[in-house]
A and B are shown apart, each in its own frame.
Chain A
Amino acid sequence: MDASFLKGIRVIALTWVWAGPWMGAVLADMGAEVIKIETNQRIDAQRIGKTYKGDRRDLNRAQFNITNRGIKSCTLNLKHSEGVEIFKQLVKVSDVVITNFAPRVLPNLGLDYTALTEVKPNIILVSLPAFGSTGPDKDYVSYAHTIEAAGGFNASFGYPGGEPILSGTYPADPIGSMYGVVGMIGALYYRDETGKGQHVDIAQNEGVTALVPEITMEYVMNGRIRRPMGNRDEIKAPHGCYPCKGEDKWVAIAVATDTEWKSLCRVMGNPDWSIDDKFLDQFSRWQNQDELNRLISGWTKNFTHYEVMHMLQRVGVSAGPSFNVEEVINDPHIKKRGAFIEQKHPIAGKTTVYRSPWKSALTASNPPAPCIGEHNDYIFKELLGMTDSKIVELIDQEVIY
């Protein structure tokens, strides 16, 4: 791809699992060159995750191939002092270092921000730790589950009147990734204007809190904790998920105005119950939503979720199926949008990945996720100018490892 947004920007990625790698993949979609530093000493958990095809010894398992597509990989053992020196040489010819390792990792390797600036004064470091790189909890051990909990998400998530539950998709990671992209480009812009680099630190827990401000403001403004509400809304009704034909098939319907309500009623054939006082205006519908939901379910269960969506959207009512992943991938609109791309991974074979969530004239089309160390030659020979014999030596010493 000749022209792309971040063409010419080189990013070194000390990343693993999800938040860091996905940031790298998104940057690669924008045309940046992203080089992931890996090591056989400590293999990215997603490379050895439980979902894979083919040979169980292959280090290209499912999740890794989706999270790391488009980037390059080299193996470099940073526990070895020579490995650290080589890393610094790479930093010298790069613009950005990104990481989602715990805050103590880079300093322990002698590669904290100060050390990086000694190698390249205007280097940009973007870190995505769980709680930030400073503060009393900075070294706490966390996974996406515990980060979303700390961010206030779960206390407000669940069925009405129910207990807090885990999200199931753990969005703290991809939220952190996108903030990482925002911070990085902000820093690049600032660098180009002033010549200065910096350390941009994204706290993943804060990313979650920043995306559910209603939870904070409910307490700040009214001293109230926002309880789990399921599919319900503060004032709109009907606003929920209704059972359709088939097993575990549901359609989401949200009515915001009296006009939309009347349209819904018309589509339902103006059943007698729909003109009951209980449902005539928004307030009454909201008050009587339990009964309303039961009655609507009586109608939706006669149709497929697709049928309900099309019938209601045609009359300007917001409705759509609760798709499972297969339905999303096979949906005609999604197919038209090209949201998913089928790649052919050299080791794992057919791999369905999703592109970054935008379409533009300038999107880099990227190769499948790399094999571990796949780009060693390119990085050590081309970028760093090492000789073949030097490389052999380093492999022997388990520096390139």
Chain B
Amino acid sequence: MFYKILKGIKVLEFGNLVSAPFCSKILADLGAEVIKIEKPCCGDDARRQAPFLEDVPSTEHSGLFLYLNMNKLGITLNPETTTGKKIFRNLLNEADIFVENNFPKRMKQLEFTYKYIRQINPRIIMTSITPFGQTGPYKNYKGCELVNTHMGGVGYISTRDGDASIEPIKYPAHILSFQAGLSAAAVTLGAFYHRKLSGSGANLDLSEQESIIQNLNSATAIWSYVNQIVSREDVMELAPAHILPCKDGYICLTFREEHQWQRFIEVMGHPDWTDNELFKDMWTRAQYWDALKPLILQWTMEHTVEEIYRSSQERGIPVGAVRNAEQVLNDKQLESKEFFIEIEHQVAGKLQYPGVPYTFSEIQRVNPLPAPLLGQHNEEIYCKRMGYTKRDLTKLKEAGVI
């Protein structure tokens, strides 16, 4: 964990890849005990997602998996078998929260829908996260980061000053799936908090597509009120509001108030062209951006990211540094916040990972535990807690139950 808040709270995770595992990671980070169920043969599919330690794909080498599943206990279990189902029901009985991201039809086939589960454990909070939710014509459609992003309306409007003759694109990695897991954690905590007073469980139905819609604030507003459809071809209305190259990288200039641009002119040493009528306010600057951009570039290409960033921010100008991974890892601000943490994993060794973006002033932060090896806690859970013997474990494994 990072912060010991949800002491004694038990979470069972029956998830794969990102959304459900990230939801339960957040609960684990806050001190809950999370038992993660993985398929016996090969575990969570995230184990096979890049980046891999030293570019060697292997069950315990995925950076994505190692990050998502820190702080969790890992067991293998095949719920398709009768014994497996029995064990699963046992685990559900003990859990406060159950997080999963399987196809609705699979959960129905396994008889692990909320309707059945609440009979085993009426107080359980069951959080289901799927690409399109538990209801509706697409409920069993196959989603993924690419497809969800586009069906959620974000792909179409990613960026501005774009070109509609080339395809709209998704965001890096799995950011929107992560956002869905985060949203799931938020409402799961709400339902869990409520249970303290009410004693009642809850069934939470999350759709990744709906989580993505959260990002359509502007687009929804514009459509609803002026019936215009935002597109990636739309030109930025204010300028500068762009990422521009500079000597050793890129900076982001986003000026929303005139005094910010005026101050930036001073940072640039007040070149003559800045007095041009065409550039007199943010709207005309946007109108004549094609003329303005190369002029600004003349200056930025002579200066480094740090120079432009620091000298601007010192004057209260909202310039941003476009940081890559190396720069983020070496960033002084993140260093002072101790954002990155080192975790030692049995196979992957000592590595830096992103930590958590929150701090609690009155609680001591503690170091998180590494992600589990495949089946690492089988003995702990099955033998110590459920009373199976070590011999049972061997037989269960041979029979494909675990």
Given the interface pairs A163-B245, A211-B178, the reply to whether A198 lies near B222 with Cβ below 8 Å is no
Offer 19 A-B interface pairs, CB within 8 angstroms, sorted by A. Answer: A22-B217, A30-B187, A51-B221, A66-B220, A136-B336, A146-B318, A155-B324, A157-B171, A158-B159, A169-B158, A171-B176, A179-B357, A200-B361, A202-B358, A212-B178, A226-B172, A229-B172, A321-B150, A358-B183
A215 to B174, CA, bound (A): 10
- Seed contacts A226-B325, A233-B146, A332-B137; 13 additional CB < 8 Å A-B pairs: A5-B187, A51-B222, A141-B260, A171-B171, A211-B179, A216-B353, A217-B64, A231-B167, A241-B146, A321-B150, A325-B216, A325-B229, A358-B204
Q: Which residues of B contact A304 (CB under 8 A)?
A: none
Q: A140-B313, A226-B325, A323-B151 are in contact. Are A354 and B220 (CB under 8 A)?
A: yes
C-alpha spacing A334/B313, complex, angstroms:
43
| Known contacts A3-B198, A164-B243, A190-B363, A252 near B358 by CB under 8 Å | no
Contact with B along A223-247 (1 / 0, CB 8 A): 0111011110111000111110001
Does A216 lie within 8 Å of B328, measured CB to CB? Answer: yes
Is A190 in contact with B186, judged by CB distance below 8 angstroms? no
Enumerate chain B residues within 8 angstroms of A336, measured Cβ to Cβ: 135-137
Give the interface size bracket for B toward A.
Answer: 35 or more
Chain A positions within 8 Å of B352 at CB level: 216, 220
Residue of A155, A181, A360, A362 near B322 (CB, 8 A) is A155
A201 on the interface (CB 8 Å rule)?
yes
Of residues 218 through 249 on chain B, the ones whose CB sits less than 8 Å from some CB of chain A are 218-226, 229-233, 237, 241-243, 245
Residues of B135-170 whose CB lies within 8 A of A: 135-138, 141-144, 146-160, 164, 166-170
Asked whether A89 is an interface residue with its Cβ less than 8 Å from the other chain, the reply is no
Q: Report whether A328 and B325 are in contact in the complex, using a CB–CB cutoff of 8 Å.
A: no
B175/A212 in contact, CB under 8 A: yes
Which residues in B have their C-beta under 8 angstroms from that of A348?
225
| B30 contact set on A, CB distance < 8 A | 182, 186
The CA-CA distance from A162 to B318 in the complex, in Å, is 25
8 Å CB interface, B108-136 against A? 132-136
Say which size band chain A's interface belongs to: 35 or more
Which candidate, B48-56, B73-81, B86-94, B384-392, is the interface stretch facing chain A? B48-56
Complex: A6 Cα to B193 Cα, angstroms: 8
A-B interface contact total, Cβ < 8 Å: 508
B51 in contact with A132 (CB, 8 Å): no
* Given A137-B313, A200-B360, A218-B51, A142 contacting B155 (CB threshold 8 A): no
Chain A residues numbered 118-176 whose CB sits less than 8 Å from any CB in chain B: 131-132, 134-138, 140-143, 145-147, 149-159, 163-171, 173-175
Across the interface, do B218 and A169 meet the contact criterion of CB distance under 8 Å? yes
By a beta-carbon cutoff of 8 Å, the part of chain B in contact with chain A is 3, 5-7, 26, 30, 49-55, 63-64, 66-68, 132-138, 141-144, 146-160, 164, 166-176, 178-180, 182-187, 189-194, 196, 198, 202-207, 209-211, 213-226, 229-233, 237, 241-243, 245, 250, 252, 254, 256, 260, 313, 316-329, 331-334, 336-337, 339-340, 351-363
Residue from A49, A181, A333 whose CB has the most chain B CB atoms within 10 Å: A333
Q: In the assembled complex, which residues on chain A have CB atoms less than 8 Å from the CB atom of B182?
A: 175, 178-179, 182, 211
Is the CB–CB distance between B216 and A169 below 8 Å? yes
Contact of A256 with B by CB under 8 A: yes
A194 to chain B, nearest CB (A): 9
Could you tell me the dominant secondary structure of chain A's interface residues? mixed
A76 at the interface (CB under 8 A from B): no
Q: Assuming A212-B173, A226-B325, A325-B216, is B243 touching A166 (CB within 8 A)?
A: yes
Q: A134-B336, A219-B325, A241-B169 are in contact. Are A142 and B320 (CB under 8 A)?
A: yes
Q: Is the CB of A351 within 8 A of B224?
A: yes
